[in-house]
Structure 1
Amino acid sequence: MPTTQELPDCHLLKPPTLITPSSPTPHHALSLSNLDDQKFLRFSIKYLYLFRKSVPPESLKASLAKALVDYYPLAGRLRSAGNGDGGGDDDQRLEVDCNGEGAVFAEASMDITVDEFLALSEWPNSSWRKLLYKVEAPSFLGVPPLVVQVTNLRCGGMILCTAISHCLCDGVGTSQFLHAWAHLSTKPDASIPVLPFHGRHVLRRQFPILTNSPHSAYTRSVPSWNDKTVVPDIHGYLQSQPLIPVSITFTPPDILRLKRQCVPSLKCTSFEALATHTWRSWIRSLVDPSSSSALTSLHAVKLLFSVNVRDRLDPKLPHGYYGNGFVLGCAPAKVRDLVGSNLADAVKLVQTAKSRVDGDYVRSALETLEDKAAKTDLSASLVISQWSNLGLEGVDFGEGKAAFMGPLTSDVYCLFLPVAEEPQAVRVLVSVPERAADRFEFYMKGFVEREEKNVNGCGGEGDGLNCEDL
């Protein structure tokens, strides 16, 4: 179970500074695509890197200034693209004022060693927030697109935390930027390996598209919890509960065991097997007849997962495109059908959802998001974001790769994370209600100890979950 041990105090060594591009950069407004401008993405992706040996802050600042020449929008500021009259849909749209104002860079120290932090690293807690400088701002628009804090540790190591606006970059884009920055840190006179492509016009919605209803991953209305014929507000329930993070590492043999549950009838990828297993375990853990949030067997639930569409469009997105180039695949199911089937049947739902993601699917999403009333349907959904295949763990600023990398916080959104020095292993991190944590961990780990059983009814694979529980 998660540790509650908090980190020591973090001491800022000096006031934060602004790192501006080292050479002149274009000054203009960068329009965002509908995929960038989703309200669902109006936050910063916060990465934490733990290195055994520190890199001099002046070297990091100098290389960051060079990286911002090519990635100059990250040195700009988000703003409303409207006319400033307070009305109309245009005022809800965002753009980047590429003004070269700079990224925030903070330096700090903490009385802790790398090994001591590693002992606590499996479960993020609120005290980790002190590792990233908080910019006081009245709204998301007031937060610079890039904030960095370097914290020197007692042993000579360092923790590097970054907050990168999700409106500007997705996971692929943030990894591309971090590798470019690290490359310039090790080779100051070199060019970055991949030049960024800035234009978001390549994802403008195309006409004509006829859509009479929202895209399957989005909704324009809030479902009624009291109406048992529609989806329950699981998301609202989760947000109202005390949550604790659950972190479970799946080794390559663990993932192979999951995949073997699907053969010979079905071949699947590691992501499909693990995502399906996590989805089913999550739903099972939330089934609680004693709670007012209890699910019924006919409730509808969804798995939403990010799908990189850079190579799924015709033409493909340009090489180096670092904006949001993903859409959400959507696998819907009834609770009874999901937990009452075997793993292979549930995997087919995920595979079907993935197969739907093509050019028409993306254009449908772009069209749906043109309506600012449309929002990601989180009411009864588990959202999975895959960080384990982005190369994030390979970032090296000159003193070796990270001993640990992960998010700064844990949330109701599920992350598949890389595991340092364990290629192909995946760490699943998600926060669940405290009363459901043991059940979730049991369902996630239980497949290792017991063989697949063909049991009729809602119990599925002999996990003790009965139809009466639903």
Structure 2
Amino acid sequence: MLQSSELPDCFYPNKPTSISPKWPTPNHTLYLSNLDDQKFLRFSIKYLYLYRKSIPSDTLKSSLSRALAEFYPLAGRLRISRDDEEKLEVDCNGEGAVFAEAFMDFSADEFLEASRRPNRSWRKLLYRVEAQSFLGVPPLVVQVTNLRCGGMILCTAINHCLADGIGTSQFLQAWAHFTTKPSADLAITAVHSRHALRPSYPPKITFPHPEFTKSTPHDTPLDLTQYLLSQPLVPTSITFTPSHILRLKKLCVPSLKCTSFEALASHVWRTWVRTLNLPPALKVKLLFSVNVRKRLRPELPQGYYGNGFVLGCAETTARELVNANVRHGVKLVQEAKGSLTDDYVRSMIDLLEERRTRPDLSASLVISQWSKMGLEDLDFGEGRPLHMGPLASEIYCLFLPVMSDFNAVTVLMSMPESLVSKFEYHMRDFSERDDKEREEKDGCDGNDYI
């Protein structure tokens, strides 16, 4: 197993600066929808980009200032709503984003060597803003770290309450656009208003919402998230080439056609449950992000960069998932996606108005798709990145783009250290042998978890 390399410390020649919008922007309060300010989204999405050649900091600062003129809420500050202490809103005051410059005695090639497995030392690539709470951190924090080889690492932290993955990609592409074409307007205008996702009055909860409902039996007091967080976790990543994904999809034909995401999500979910050796009768869930911009009626306007996704929820027992073909999980994923109609999403928004509830993570795997959102195409004028991914690996699962192959996917997540080898073995095993034969081959006794 490849061991991660610890990064040396960063040297900061100057204190971080504040980058404000290039010109005066509207000074008002921005309403956040119930999809925006969910409690489980109160964190920053942290991206890391590695480039072979650096861009002058003054150029990046100037273009960032221009981009913030278009996406001015990112230059504001989050605060508790004056009308509802359970909700957040954005004070669009133009206070600015944090921009830090650093140098690291490290090369791009050295970073690439260890890029499959993030580790805690990567956190030094993003300037830490000292704040007493989540609300005290500016919505946008940037660090540009120049490397001894002339390369550059760009890290950004974008508050998830203001934008989802598609929205953050839209903003970052705007920043890159103004770096290479300072005087050219954006092809797509940013849409700030979130009123299209206002709840009904009174709220109308017309569907059950299993993504928020705890389904663990009372006689099995199991909280898998707490268990995982109590273990020494290490990142593991496996890249699936187009041929690998095609082999997975062929396990579903001719009776079922599926997308690459559906096949891979089913395989990862099944492998995760098998590796943890969960109680057979335990209800397990797969929660996965689904873009609903075009599922709503009317559709959300082009340029809407707020949270336009919800969590699809597939559910079954551990026994059914592990014993069945990958086709079983695919069907559940497809059914979960199919249920996300306009009425369903509106019902979810109303549920969040009535109860500030969180997703049920007690026995759930969460998958977030970062591939095929344009994140990997971020070019500031010196070419596409050599690497793109998260600043750190978490217990939830990321589907990441592969720089050299648009149709390949890297699966990244953290697992208990004692189970990494077993997880990686099953992830690479696409056959459909029976469980007994599998266990005999990998030497597992089936008692790793319970």
- Band the TM-score falls in, shorter-chain normalisation: over 0.9
Q: 2:125 is matched with which residue?
A: 131
Q: 1:354 is matched with which residue?
A: 337
Aligned residues: 446
Q: 2: CA distance between counterparts of 1:394 and 1:34?
A: 30
Q: 2: CA distance between counterparts of 1:151 and 1:379?
A: 38
Q: 1:93 is matched with which residue?
A: 87
Mark the runs of 5 or more structure 1 residues left unpaired by the alignment.
84-89, 288-294
Q: Would the aligned equivalents of 2:370 and 2:400 in 1 still touch at CA under 8 Å?
A: yes
Q: Would the aligned equivalents of 1:245 and 1:430 in 2 still touch at CA under 8 Å?
A: yes
Q: 1:87 is matched with which residue?
A: none
Q: Which amino acid aligns with 1:61?
A: K
Deviations 1:265-316 (A, max 9, x none): 11100000000000000111111xxxxxxx3211011000000000001100
State the 1:352 CA deviation: 0.6
Give 2:280's match in structure 1, choosing from 288, 297, 300: 297
Residue 247 (structure 2) pairs with residue 267 (structure 1) = no
State the 1:461 CA deviation: 8.5
Query: Any residues of structure 2 matched to 1:183-262 within 5 Å, and which?
Result: 183-207=177-201, 210-211=204-205, 215-219=209-213, 227-228=219-220, 232-262=222-252
Q: Which amino acid aligns with 1:299?
A: L
Query: For the structure 1 residues 168 and 81, does the alpha-carbon distance in structure 2 shift closer, same or farther, using more than 3 Å as the test?
Result: same
Residue 109 (structure 2) pairs with residue 109 (structure 1) = no
Query: Any residues of structure 2 matched to 1:58-77 within 5 Å, and which?
Result: 58-77=58-77
Query: TM-score, structure 2 length as denominator?
Result: 0.95
Residue 16 (structure 2) pairs with residue 13 (structure 1) = no
Q: Would the aligned equivalents of 1:92 and 1:372 in 2 still touch at CA under 8 Å?
A: no
State the 1:104 CA deviation: 0.2
**SS of residue in 2 equivalent to 1:257:** helix
Deviations 1:60-105 (A, max 9, x none): 000000000110000000000036xxxxxx1121000000000000
Q: 1:36 is matched with which residue?
A: 36
Q: 2:322 is matched with which residue?
A: 339
Q: 1:86 is matched with which residue?
A: none
**SS of residue in 2 equivalent to 1:393:** helix
Q: Would the aligned equivalents of 1:339 and 1:460 in 2 still touch at CA under 8 Å?
A: no
Query: For the structure 1 residues 260 and 205, does the alpha-carbon distance in structure 2 shift closer, same or farther, using more than 3 Å as the test?
Result: same
Deviations 1:13-67 (A, max 9, x none): 2000000001110000001000001000000000000000000000000000000
Give 2:163's match in structure 1, choosing from 164, 169, 172: 169
Let me know the Cα RMSD of the aligned residues.
Answer: 1.9
Q: 2: CA distance between counterparts of 1:211 and 1:99?
A: 35
Q: 2: CA distance between counterparts of 1:120 and 1:326?
A: 32
State the 1:372 CA deviation: 4.0
Mark the runs of 5 or more structure 2 residues left unpaired by the alignment.
none
Query: For the structure 1 residues 461 and 57, does the alpha-carbon distance in structure 2 shift closer, same or farther, using more than 3 Å as the test?
Result: farther
Give 1:452's match in structure 2, choosing from 414, 423, 432: 432
Q: Would the aligned equivalents of 1:248 and 1:429 in 2 still touch at CA under 8 Å?
A: yes
**SS of residue in 1 equivalent to 2:328:** helix
Q: Would the aligned equivalents of 2:16 and 2:100 in 1 still touch at CA under 8 Å?
A: yes
With 127-136 and 185-194 compared, the bigger mean Cα shift is at: 185-194
Q: Which amino acid aligns with 1:378?
A: L
Give 2:313's match in structure 1, choosing from 325, 330, 334: 330
Query: For the structure 1 residues 352 and 156, does the alpha-carbon distance in structure 2 shift closer, same or farther, using more than 3 Å as the test?
Result: same
Residue 266 (structure 2) pairs with residue 276 (structure 1) = yes
Q: 1: CA distance between counterparts of 2:7 and 2:166?
A: 30
